Chain A
Amino acid sequence: MATTGIESWAVDLKDIGAIYPFQGAEGLFVLAGVVLWLGWHFIQIRAENEEYDGIISRHGDDASINEALEGE
């Protein structure tokens, strides 16, 4: 049994519809995609905030900022 449901191309194409694998599980695929999407935002936002916190703790003093601006 093929994952696509197509065992042979000895068919009339007008009788064939979807040709991707695991038909019938589209809802699960979409659910997985939505979870990945929302998870990506959470991970990214946390990482971005940590990045800024790290920069400020190491280089956020007035001397470092003045040095950086002079180098611009």
Chain B
Amino acid sequence: MEGNLNALTTVFTEFYYWATIPLMFFIHIGFCMYEVGASRRRNHLHTLMKNTMLIPLVTITFFFFGWWLYWAMPNGPFITGGLDTAAAEANTAWSETMGPNTGDRITGVFWAAFLLFSWTAASIVSGSVIERIKSGAFWVLAVVIGSVAWIIDAAWGWHYGGWMVQLLGYHDAYASGVIHAIAGGFALGVLVVLGPRLGKFAKDGSPRDITPHNPWLVCLGLFMIYAGFWGFYVACNVPIIDPGGIGGQITGDTWTATTIYLTPTTLGAITVNFLMSLSGGLLVGYLASKGNPFWTYSGGLAGIITASAGNDLYHPIHAMIIGGLGTYCAYKLHYWVEQKFKIDDAVGAVAVHGYAGFIGLVICGFVLWGHPSSPYEGFATINPLGQFVGAIIMFFVLGFVPGWIVAKILAAMNLLRIPRQVELLGLDFASNREEQAAAADVRATEKAAV
């Protein structure tokens, strides 16, 4: 690090990304709370373990190969160039910069910030498949979405040199598509193969409401996700960089925060827009669901997710309206898809993340039409067609299709769905029996001591 200003910038950037990581931990805590709250009593422990154990599995695989994919794949490969092995070299699992290294203070925290996004992508899928998927199958799927599919989409559309940014003008500053649409699409692909929980649909095809056993836990979990979402937003920015460091078309020497595309924005802008899109989602979620707490909280989340693609640039009123619009569409689509295609999405994750993310990308193409997608010369500007094609790539190509294929393979090997009897008895049946036997034994001992 040469010079005090460079040293200060580097250490500040290191601390900045580090601070986002404990904040984003709250997203995972929230997902666990909401998933366990939505499951029935007989499935609590397995539901909790299913989500928790994606943490180590996605972490180690993201270390082994996920991070390398991000740096190697921005060109496709073979769309705007080959594999970028030069950029990827310092990000291989065996690179010296992946361990403690006095010459590199950023790789570790940057890796970890991306990793927490990976957990989020896998965790979104986790909620929708509760109470009937085998844990082992889910963990394979978690590695596919968390350490392969989403990070390829990030290389393509969430990288300053990604081919989607260059050719399509794709803009997705806070991950409407690269996290939410892909995870929702992936979940839908798995759900199509997995099928609904026993009893979800009546013989005439009408859906039954399998209510959360603990609405408090569900709502507090969603509230907790809001808290963690602050870290997610902040981690999407480069906190401070000078135009010389960007090396693009920006002139002068005014330092700025930027998006992942190195396009200027401010922390102030995204803070206001986060709150306004949250508010738009909550207001509409409440009205659309007639005050249902689960859908009101989910509406807040859907509001943020819908506006996220352009929340670096939207006026706060845009953010509010777009958040509300996406929430309304996601809510309506959830019940339409459930009724029409008999899809049992236990927590509405496909709607809140997938449909809201998809819609948010498309809206962004219209509202930010013509704005430069990059500080570099020769990149396409943001446009509706590019955003629509981007949304298709995120939701279907990298989301639905891999989810469906891997679920099909697991189903063919009889590894996907738990046996019917176990689903009826409950995943925690054995441990619950042991617990009851232990409690009876203690009671008998206590009575004998009277």
Contacts and interface: CB of A to CB of B under 8 A. Distances in A.
B436 to A, nearest CB: 9
A23 B103 CA distance: 15
A13 B102 contact: yes
Interface in A57-72: 59-60, 64-65, 68-69, 72
B109 interface: no
Contacts of B419: 52, 56, 60
A53 to B, nearest CB: 8
Contacts of B1: 14
Interface residues of A, number: 32
B424 A44 contact: no
A67 to B, nearest CB: 9
Contacts, number: 88
Interface string A8-39: 00000110111110010011011001100100
B101 A17 contact: yes
Nearest to B60: A37
A29 B100 contact: no
B429 A59 contact: yes
A72 B103 contact: no
Main secondary structure of the interface of B (DSSP, over half): helix
Contact of A69 (B93, B99, B139, B424): B424
Contacts of A59: 421, 425, 429
B64 interface: yes
A64 B96 contact: no
Interface residues of B, number: 36
Interface in B81-95: 93-95
Given A17-B96, A17-B102, A19-B101, A55 B421 contact: yes
Given A19-B101, A55-B425, A44 B42 contact: no
B61 interface: yes
Contacts of A48: 134-136
B430 A54 contact: yes
A72 B42 contact: yes
B103 A26 contact: no
5 contacts: A13-B102, A19-B101, A19-B102, A26-B99, A52-B419
Contact of B422 (A20, A27, A52): A52
Contacts of B240: none
A23 B407 CA distance: 40
B214 to A, nearest CB: 14
B133 to A, nearest CB: 11
A52 B63 CA distance: 32
A56 B422 contact: yes
B16 to A, nearest CB: 21
B102 A68 contact: no
Contacts of B98: 26
Interface in B56-72: 57, 60-61, 63-64
Interface in B129-177: 134-136, 139-140
Contacts of A51: 430
Q: Which 7 A-B pairs give the minimum distances between C-beta atoms?
A: A26-B94, A45-B136, A60-B421, A18-B96, A20-B99, A30-B93, A16-B102
A59 B423 CA distance: 12
Contact of B57 (A13, A37, A69): A37
Contact of A72 (B40, B135, B415): B40
Contacts of B418: 52
A56 to B, nearest CB: 5
A31 to B, nearest CB: 9
A20 B103 CA distance: 13
Contacts of B60: 33, 37
B38 to A, nearest CB: 15
Interface string B420-438: 0110111001100000000
A18 B430 contact: no
B64 A55 contact: no
Nearest to B96: A18
A70 to B, nearest CB: 12
